[in-house]
Amino acid sequence: MWDNLEIVVEKTDLALLKEKPAQDKLGFGAHFTDHMLRMTWNKEKGWHDAKICPYQDFQLDPAAMVFHYGQAIFEGLKAYKNEDGQVFLFRPQDNLERMNTSALRMCMPRLPVEKVLKGLKALVYLDRDWIPTNKGATLYIRPTMIATEAALGVRPSEEYYFYVIMSPVGAYYAEGFNPTKIFVTDKYVRAVKGGVGNVKTAGNYAASIMAGREAAKAGYTQVLWLDACERRYVEEVGTSNIFFRINDQLITPPLGGSILAGITRDSVMQLVRSWGVEVVERQITIDELLAACEDNTLQEAFGTGTAAVISPVGELCYRDQKYIINNNETGELSARLFEELQAIQGGRSEDPFRWVVRVG
Ligand SMILES: *Cc1c(COP(=O)(O)O)cnc(C)c1O
């Protein structure tokens, strides 16, 4: 693993290794492991100085372009450990390819996918003792790229950092796999076609915080986003993709430029197709959805994303009206997908799609 890495490895002094947090009090993204991966880009040298080093602060010029015009992209994936201590990543190559799609749109440099994947595996292996072993807990991995050139002109930066940090996270559903309450907003929008909704770029999340906060104040977990032009077509839920099961058919909005191409979304589609469930990518209006809820043809609804995997929806609130889905219970397909995806990711189930990559 350490041969041909072309990445310098600077290990943290044993005496300086951090104390690991209690496994039952991890939360999300609150603790970080002992090491990070980092690499620098400039016009002359391209990507260089790749290294795995102790987790540490950056020193950046206050004029660094990321602070002003937001050239910042990221990814989210996880490492899982099975009962035998074997470590796995789930579709890591797809995350890095997607990061390159994001980089292209934001005029940032392409990553060398093979090299980064090797470095990522080495980093996960080095910090493998941080991967939690209790049920549902995982190691969340956050690759990030930022513009670091000190200059105030609005143009692509000529210097960048790429880095990967990792955080042990607790089971998303600490109190059981229960449906969430979702607030449908027609006041705010997340993304427009032609914009950057299909890019994992920092500004999208900054722009979504206010809607999320208003939903939380009203007692809802997440926001359901409608399209920006007509505010009729369902797009995503929070930072997850969304699926509806209506008349035994699974429906998800098509990727039209304003929706993030979720890897969990793609995995769900492939998996349920292999089970003989019909899946269609088509536009669905909020009116059609609520009508299906009222005449009980809407059997279940769930969000998909790396953090929660599957997130069942039990209630929608739209224009002060409440709509209950499936008696506010977790649907049959949601539950099956949650179990099966977790089993594949954790190396406990067969992997017919060859999604899982072994580390070490
Ligand atoms: C990351 C993300 C998703 C989910 O993508 P996964 O690859 O499944 O984790 C969906 N929507 C948005 C807006 C996201 O940022």
Ligand 1: which atom is nearest the Cα of residue 236? 11
Domain boundaries, the chain: 7-169, 180-345
| Mutate which of 196, 236, 260 for ligand 1 pocket (most atoms within 8 A of beta carbon) | 260
pLDDT at 96: 98
What pLDDT band is residue 1 in, cutting at 50, 70 and 90? low
What pLDDT band is residue 98 in, cutting at 50, 70 and 90? very high
pLDDT at 3: 61
| Cβ atoms of residues 108 and 114 within 8 Å | no
| Mutate which of 266, 267, 306 for ligand 1 pocket (most atoms within 8 A of beta carbon) | 306
Q: Rounded mean pLDDT of 293-309?
A: 97
pLDDT at 129: 97
Does the domain at residues 180-345 carry the CATH identifier 3.20.10.10? yes
Q: Give the integer Cα–Cα distance in Å for 106 and 156.
A: 8
Q: Lowest mean pLDDT of 68-77, 132-141, 270-279, name the range.
A: 132-141
How many angstroms does the Cα of residue 222 sit away from the middle of ligand 1?
Answer: 14
pLDDT at 186: 96
| Mutate which of 169, 240, 267 for ligand 1 pocket (most atoms within 8 A of beta carbon) | 240
- More confident of the two residues 134 and 101: 101
Q: Rounded mean pLDDT of 76-95?
A: 96
Q: Rounded mean pLDDT of 93-111?
A: 98
State the average pLDDT for the chain.
96
pLDDT in tens, 6-45: 899 999 999 999 999 998 889 899 999 999 999 999 999 9
How many angstroms does the Cα of residue 303 sit away from the middle of ligand 1?
Answer: 10
Q: Which residues line ligand 1 (CB under 6 A)?
A: 76, 200, 236, 239-241, 260, 262-265, 304-306
How many angstroms does the Cα of residue 123 sit away from the middle of ligand 1?
Answer: 23
pLDDT in tens, 221-245: 999 999 999 999 999 999 999 999 9
| Cβ atoms of residues 249 and 234 within 8 Å | no
| Mutate which of 93, 205, 239 for ligand 1 pocket (most atoms within 8 A of beta carbon) | 239
- Supply the residue whose CA is at minimum distance from atom 12 of ligand 1: 239
Residue 175 in this model has a pLDDT that exceeds 80: no
pLDDT at 174: 67
- More confident of the two residues 178 and 62: 62
CA dist 7 → 108, 148, 195, 323 (Å): 22, 21, 35, 53
Q: Do domains 7-169 and 180-345 have the same CATH topology?
A: no
How many angstroms does the Cα of residue 242 sit away from the middle of ligand 1?
Answer: 10
Ligand 1: which atom is nearest the Cα of residue 190? 13
Q: Give the integer Cα–Cα distance in Å for 69 and 203.
A: 9
The candidate with the shortest Cα–Cα distance to 308, out of 216, 242, 260, 251, is: 242
Ligand 1: which atom is nearest the Cα of residue 267? 8
How many angstroms does the Cα of residue 254 sit away from the middle of ligand 1?
Answer: 14
205 token code pair: 């999340």
Q: Give the integer Cα–Cα distance in Å for 226 and 229.
A: 9
How many angstroms does the Cα of residue 241 sit away from the middle of ligand 1?
Answer: 6
What pLDDT band is residue 263 in, cutting at 50, 70 and 90? very high
What pLDDT band is residue 172 in, cutting at 50, 70 and 90? confident
- Supply the residue whose CA is at minimum distance from atom 15 of ligand 1: 239
What pLDDT band is residue 2 in, cutting at 50, 70 and 90? low
CA dist 156 → 18, 48, 64, 203, 343 (Å): 37, 19, 12, 16, 42
**Secondary-structure class of domain 7-169 per CATH:** alpha beta
Percent above pLDDT 90 for the chain: 93
Ligand 1: which atom is nearest the Cα of residue 75? 1
Q: Give the integer Cα–Cα distance in Å for 329 and 186.
A: 26
Percent above pLDDT 70 for the chain: 98
Residue 216, helix vs strand vs coil: helix
What pLDDT band is residue 114 in, cutting at 50, 70 and 90? very high
